[in-house]
Amino acid sequence: MSKGLLKKLVSKKGFKSLIADIEKIMQSPFCIKDEKGKVLIGNDPGNKSMHPVNFNSEIVGWVCGDEQLSGLANLLSFWMSLESEKTSLGKELLDRYREITFYFNITEQLAGNHGPKEAAKLLIAEAKRIIKAEDISILLIDKDDAELLATSTSESFSGEIFQACQVIVHNVLKNAKPEVINQLSGDHRCVQESMPVEALMCAPLTINNKILGVIMVSNDTGNGYTAGDLKMLMTVAYQAAAAIENAKLVAALKETIIDLQTKKEELTEAIKVRMEFSHLFISVVLMFSLYTFLLAIMDKIQVNEQSLYVTSRFLEISFVFANVWLVFRSGLPLNSFGITLLNTKKAIWESLLISAVLMSGLVIFKWYLLKKMPAFQGASIFTWNYVGWDYVTYIVVAPLQEFLTRGVLQGSIQRFLMGRFNWLWATILTSTLFGVFHVHESLMLGIAAIAGGMVWGSMYARHKNLIGVSLCHFLIGNWLGILGLWNMMIG
C-alpha cells in the first residue's frame, strides 16, 4: 500500500500544475520517481541529486533535481502521511458505519423468538455483507462434541475446514482469543492434504465467561484478513454468542412453560378425578345404606318375591339416574364411562367367545349335577318353566348394571387409583360391591356375582366398552335361569 501511495498522490488532479509551477520557480528541470527509479511525473534532469521520499521508515520514491528540492521530498513525505491518515480515518469511519449497520440490522432481525439455528443463519447472512469470505460457519462445541449450527456454504465444505483446522480451533477455545492466519498452507497446525482454503479467521463465541463455540471465516482468493476484519469478526462473534444464548434460554423457557402447562393439565385432571370419585363415593355409600335398610324393612314386613324384585329394579333405576347426573356433572367425555363405539367389534367377538365357553361349562356342570346328585335325578338340563318377562327385561337391566358397576364405578376407581395394577384393584373392588348387592338373595348368588364381576371387569378393562360386557352379562344371566341354576343358587 505504501509503494502505491506515491503514485496515487502524483496522479491527483492539480498535481501536474503544482510541479510545473515549482519548475518555473526553480528554473531547472526535476522529476519524481518511484522506488525503482521509474519517472512518475516531471522531466528527468539527468545526473542530479536524488532526495528520498520516506513513508513509514521506507523509501517509496525519489525527487531528482537540485539540492534545494530536498524540501519538496520532505513535503511529499509529510503529504503522504496526511493522505495515509485520511485514508485510515475514512476506512475507520466506514468500518464504524458497517458495524452500526450490522447492529441495527441484526437487532431488527433477531427481534422475534428465533431458535439457535435460525439466529445463527441470520447472523451469518449479515456477516457476509461486512466481511469478505468464501465460507462463514458457526459451531457449538461442548467438550469433544462439535455441532455445526449454520454455514454460508455446505455442511461438507465447512466440515472439511473444521477437520483441517481442528488444532487452531482448540487453541482458540483454550485461550479464548481469536486468531488470524493468512497463509494456512504454511501453518504446521493445519492438515495440508485436506486444506480447502488459504486464509482463516477464528473467534470464540464468549458470553458471561462461558465459551459456546467458535465462528470461522475463510476464503481462498489470496486476500488476507486485516486487524479491521478481525475486529468486525469479534463484533459478529459477540452478537452471535448473545443471540445463541438468548435463543437457548427462550427454548428452555418454552419447554418449561410447556412442562408447567402439562403439569397444570395433569393437576386439573387429578382434581377432577378426585371430585368425581368423592361424588361417586358419597353416592355409593348412600345407595348401599338405603338398599340395606330397605331390604331389612321388607324382610321385617315379609313382602313377597315380586315386590322385592320391583323394589330392587326401582333402586337400580334410581341409582342409574343419580349416576347419569354424576357423569354429566363430571365434565368428562362419555367414552370415559364406556359409552362408546370404539373397540365394539373386538368387544362383541370376545364377549360371544367367552359367553360360549361359560355357557358350555354351565351345561357340563348341570349335566354333572344330574348324574351325580340324587336331588337332580329325573330333571332335565333345560328348565323352561322359569322363563318369564324378567328374562326379556334383563336386556335392559344387564346394560344398566354394567353402566353402574363397570362404566361409572370401576372406571372412576381405576382413574383414582395409582400404580401398574390399578385396573385389577378397581375390578376386585367393583366385583365385591356387585356381589354384596346380590348377597341378600343368597350367599351362593353373591359369590357367583363376584366371579362374574371379575370376568366382566377384566373384559371392560381391556376394551373400555360397555357393549361387550353387557351382552355377556345378558347371555350368562339368562342362561343360568334356563338351566335352573339361578333358582338353585337363591334356594
The band of 112, judged by pLDDT with boundaries at 50, 70 and 90, is low
127 plus 220 within the same structural domain: yes
Compute φ and ψ for 213, nearest 5 degrees: 170, -150
> What three-state secondary structure class fits 420?
coil
Q: Is residue 287, in this structure, part of any structural domain at all?
A: no
Q: Could you say which of 255, 287, 318 is where a domain stops?
A: 255
334 plus 471 within the same structural domain: yes
Q: How many CB atoms lie within 10 A of CB 257?
A: 10
Residue with cell 332335565: 380
Q: Is residue 296, in this structure, part of any structural domain at all?
A: no
Q: Are 474 and 391 in contact (CB under 8 A)?
A: no
Count of residues in the chain? 491
33 plus 67 within the same structural domain: yes
* Tens of pLDDT, residues 267-300: 888 887 777 777 777 777 777 777 777 777 777 7
Q: Is residue 297, in this structure, part of any structural domain at all?
A: no
DSSP string, 3-49: HHHHHHHHTSTTHHHHHHHHHHHHTS--EEEETTS-EEEE---SS-E
Residue with cell 365357553: 357
Q: What is the DSSP letter of 409?
A: I
* Tens of pLDDT, residues 445-483: 889 889 999 999 999 999 999 999 999 999 998 898 888
Q: Could you say which of 99, 124, 143 is where a domain stops?
A: 99
Total domains in the fold of the chain = 3
* Average pLDDT value for the chain: 82
DSSP string, 50-102: EEEEEETTEEEEEEEE-GGGHHHHHHHHHHHHHHHHHHHHHHHHHHHHHHHHH
Residue 187's identity, in one-letter code, is D
Residue 259 pLDDT:
93
Q: Is residue 309, in this structure, part of any structural domain at all?
A: yes
Rounded distance, CA 17 to CA 65, Å?
18
49: containing domain: 2-99
* Tens of pLDDT, residues 217-257: 988 876 788 888 888 888 888 888 888 888 888 888 888 99
314 plus 443 within the same structural domain: yes
Q: Is residue 269, in this structure, part of any structural domain at all?
A: no
54 plus 130 within the same structural domain: no
Contacts of 261 (CB under 8 A, 6+ apart): none
84 plus 143 within the same structural domain: no
CATH code for the domain of 226: 3.30.450.40
pTM beyond 0.75: no
121 plus 222 within the same structural domain: yes
Q: Could you say which of 51, 69, 99 is where a domain stops?
A: 99
> What three-state secondary structure class fits 78?
helix
The band of 327, judged by pLDDT with boundaries at 50, 70 and 90, is confident
Q: Within a 13 Å sphere around the CA of 377, how many CA atoms are in the beta-carbon half?
A: 4
pLDDT of 34 above 60: yes
122 plus 32 within the same structural domain: no
Q: Is residue 177, in this structure, part of any structural domain at all?
A: yes
Q: Is residue 263, in this structure, part of any structural domain at all?
A: no
Q: Is residue 273, in this structure, part of any structural domain at all?
A: no
